[in-house]
Amino acid sequence: MILEHVKEWGLKEKDIELYLQSFKFGVPPLGGFALGAERVTMHILGLKNVREASLFPRDMERVDLRFSR
């Protein structure tokens, strides 16, 4: 399937050989793991919502419409 896309996109297999070799033994079941600073802060402070730990929270009460366009 990947090789089909390589041909469709006009790429050369040789140019992405290292990427293709990474799939030699199969694809890992997970895409990765990341623990964000907000989640760590939330846990340390015992907060119930990650939004309470965000340095720049996104909610409509804090949006300044002058800067939204």
CA dihedral 20, 29, 33, 46 (to 10 degrees): 170
* pLDDT tens by residue, 33-54: 777 889 999 999 999 988 888 8
Please state the separation of Cα 42 from the chain's center in Å: 20
Band of pLDDT at residue 68, cut at 50, 70 and 90: low
* Domain ranges for the chain: 1-25
Cβ proximity of 42 and 52 under 8 Å: yes
